[in-house]
Amino acid sequence: MWFSHSNYSEFVSSTWNALSGDLPSKINALCAALSQWNKEVFGHLFQRKRKLLARIGGIQKARDRYENPFLINLETDLIKEYEDIRDQENLFWRQKCRDKWLQEGNRNTRFFRLTALVRRRKNKIEGLFNSNDFWCTNSEGMKNISVDFFTDLFSKQDPKDNRFVILGLFPTIDQTCLGSISRPVSLLEVKDALFAIGGLKAPGYDGFPAIFYQNH
C-alpha cells in the first residue's frame, strides 16, 4: 500500500542511509520512522476516504445548483484520488487476509475484510488441557502447557504414552550430510530463500512482509 505513495521510496532510502549500527537495530529504527511517516505523510487510509467522500458529495450538491468549471475540475481530481485510495484499501485487506487466489478482477474489500476476521478467529486457541486434565484458558498457562508437552515429548527415552511415539524420529546422519548441513550459508542462498517467499505472506518477527525486502 505504501509503495503507491510518491514519497515512499525516497523516504526509505534516505532514512536507511542515515542510520548506523547492525541490521536488527537499523530495521527497528526504520520501523519506527515508517510508523511516524505513515501518520504524518501517508495519513490514515479510512479517514482520508471519508473526507474525500464528504468533499465529493459537497461539490456534487453545489453543482446541482450551478455549473462551475473549477468545481468540475476539482471533482475530477478528487474522484481520481478516491480511486487511488480504493486501490490502496484493496491492497490493505489483501495483505491482512493474505489470500493468494484472487489475483485479478474487481475490488472486493468486504470479502478481504471478512476473510481477515475469519482467519483471525480460526487461528485462535481458546484453551488447553494440562497433564492433570485441567482446562486452562489464560495465555501464560497455555504457553507453559505447550512448552512442557514438547519438552517431555522430545526428551523421554521410553515414553509411556504410545500415541506420540514416532519411529525413526531421530535417524542417524552420516558425515557427508552433517558437513553439508553445517557449512556456512552463502548470501546467494539467503537471497534465493527470501525471493521464494510469497510477498504478502505472514510477516517476520520485525513486522515486515517479504515484499518489503524483495523491493528494497
Cβ-proximal residues to 45 (8 Å cutoff; 6+ apart), any chain: 1, 85, 88, 89, 92
Whether the Cβ atoms of residue 34 and residue 12 lie closer than 8 Å to each other? yes
Whether the Cβ atoms of residue 125 and residue 142 lie closer than 8 Å to each other? yes
125 vs 190: which has the higher pLDDT: 190
**CA–CA gap between residue 92 and residue 78 (Å, rounded):** 21
* Three-class secondary structure of residue 129 per DSSP: strand
Assess whether pLDDT exceeds 70 at residue 99.
Answer: no
Q: Which of 83, 82, 63 is nearest to 71 (CA)?
A: 63
For the chain, what percent of residues have pLDDT higher than 70? 80
**93: confidence class by pLDDT, cuts 50, 70, 90:** confident
171 vs 174: which has the higher pLDDT: 174
Mean of pLDDT values over 2-10 = 87
Which value, to the nearest 10 degrees, does the dihedral of the CA atoms of residues 193, 197, 203, 205 take? -20
Of 87-91, 123-127, 156-160, 201-205, least confident by mean pLDDT is: 156-160
Q: What is the pLDDT of residue 109?
A: 59
Q: Kindly state the cell numbers that stand for 204.
A: 517476520
Q: What is the pLDDT of residue 190?
A: 92
Angle at 80 between CA 97 and CA 63, to 5 degrees: 130
Would the CA dihedral through 160, 163, 167, 173 be positive or negative? negative
Q: What is the pLDDT of residue 6?
A: 83
Q: Kindly state the cell numbers that stand for 16.
A: 536507511
pLDDT tens, position by position, 40-52: 888 777 888 888 8
pLDDT tens, position by position, 108-122: 555 556 666 656 655
**16: confidence class by pLDDT, cuts 50, 70, 90:** very high
Q: What is the pLDDT of residue 181?
A: 84
Of 34-43, 56-65, 73-82, 95-104, least confident by mean pLDDT is: 95-104
Where residue 168 falls (left for φ over 0; alpha for ψ -120 to 50; beta otherwise) is left
Residue owning grid cell 486434565: 133
Assess whether pLDDT exceeds 70 at residue 91.
Answer: yes
Mean of pLDDT values over 132-146 = 88
Assess whether pLDDT exceeds 50 at residue 209.
Answer: yes
